[in-house]
Amino acid sequence: MKIRKIVFPVGGLGTRFFPITRAIPKEMLGIIDKPLIHYAFEEAVKAGIEEFIFVTRHGKDSIEDYFDYMFSHTDYFNIKIGSICYVRQNKPKGLGHAVLCAKNLVNNEPFAVMSADDFIFSSKSCLKEMIEHYNGSNMVATMQVEPQEVSKYGILDIEKEEGKLVYAKSVDEKPDLSEAKSNYAVIGRYILSSEIFEILENLEPGVGNEIQLTDALLKMIPKCGLVGFKFDGHRFDCGSKEGLLSAILYIASHDKSLNHVVENFFKGKY
């Protein structure tokens, strides 16, 4: 099934990167010479997305400036004029609320959501593969995480696994390890039915007093199911300092013009 639209929720505060994110959106933090949002956008372009919706807020203008530059000065992203738009999330009320802000721009068709700080380095576009496997059930990217990490994620309760797909019978936002039903974590790639907007509109705040996307996914399971997609490649949590640094080192060590810098560092040359 063709997926034409994507929502990038970029309204988060980036508290784990204070003070730099007091003035720079976390999505604009760099992996060498490109910001995180560039990689996310590139993955979406490779997946055949045609309309790009950013849910933004005060202080995030440099994201718009970046894409203005990329479109007017380069042909790096060869997409149609007018296919990118911005809508504001004026209160930080969570990922579910951010997605809801895009309701009138998505309208009535299945759509993708991508978190730029979940950086996935792969020879394929993770989102492209997800779209190829999408069959109408809500879909999330998933990977197994260490036990001590489960309380940072939405965690799937697995009914069965078939190849790259895991079928979930429930999902729980940031459970304690003692209550986690598996270690399959939700990673920031989603393909969603537009029916989710009605659910989000009527959802009570959940964990952290925020409108949680996972709570809406849970409510929709009886009607449309929930499938996890086990993606290829390396994923870095670039919402954390450790993850961003790992991603920078990984990219540099895979870049012919930079890998000597990483090697020299580990040889103790600096």
By beta-carbon proximity to ligand G1P, the closer residue of 115 and 193 is: 115
Q: Which of residues 194-213 bind ligand G1P (CB under 6 A)?
A: 212-213
Q: Cβ(169)–Cβ(157) under 8 Å? A: yes
- By CB under 6 A, the count of residues binding ligand G1P is 14
Please report how close the Cβ of residue 224 comes to ligand G1P at its closest, in angstroms: 18
Residue from 185, 218, 220, 248 in contact with ligand G1P (CB under 6 A): 185
190: which strand partners? Answer: 113, 140
Residue from 86, 153, 190, 229 in contact with ligand G1P (CB under 6 A): 153
Cα 177 to Cα 185: distance, rounded to the nearest angstrom: 12
Residue from 7, 44, 95, 168 in contact with ligand G1P (CB under 6 A): 95
Residue from 27, 51, 118, 129 in contact with ligand G1P (CB under 6 A): 118
By beta-carbon proximity to ligand G1P, the closer residue of 149 and 195 is: 149
Q: Which of residues 131-150 bind ligand G1P (CB under 6 A)?
A: none
Which tokens in the block code for residue 148? 């001590």
Residue from 214, 218, 235, 251 in contact with ligand G1P (CB under 6 A): 214
Residue from 31, 98, 187, 196 in contact with ligand G1P (CB under 6 A): 187
Residue 19: cis peptide before it, omega within 30 degrees of 0: yes
By beta-carbon proximity to ligand G1P, the closer residue of 49 and 186 is: 186
Residue from 27, 43, 172, 173 in contact with ligand G1P (CB under 6 A): 173
Question: ∠ CA(59), CA(25), CA(232), 5° rounding?
Answer: 145
Q: Which of residues 32-61 bind ligand G1P (CB under 6 A)?
A: none
Cα 211 to Cα 100: distance, rounded to the nearest angstrom: 10
Q: What is the DSSP string of 28-86?
A: G-EETTEEHHHHHHHHHHHTT--EEEEEE-TT-HHHHHHHHHHHHH--SS---TT-EEE
Please report how close the Cβ of residue 213 comes to ligand G1P at its closest, in angstroms: 6
Amino acid at 163: G
Residue from 188, 199, 200, 244 in contact with ligand G1P (CB under 6 A): 188
Tell me if residue 103 falls in helix, strand or coil: helix
By beta-carbon proximity to ligand G1P, the closer residue of 106 and 218 is: 218
| Site for ligand G1P contains 115 (CB under 6 A) | yes
Cα dist. 129→79, 119, 155, 217 in Å? Answer: 20, 15, 21, 20
By beta-carbon proximity to ligand G1P, the closer residue of 28 and 171 is: 171
Q: Cβ(33)–Cβ(86) under 8 Å? A: no
Listed in sequence order, the residues at least 6 apart from 263 whose beta carbon sits closer than 8 Å to its beta carbon are 253
The residue with its CB nearest to ligand G1P is 154
Interface residues with ligand G1P (CB under 6 A) are 95, 115, 118, 153-154, 173, 185-188, 212-214, 239
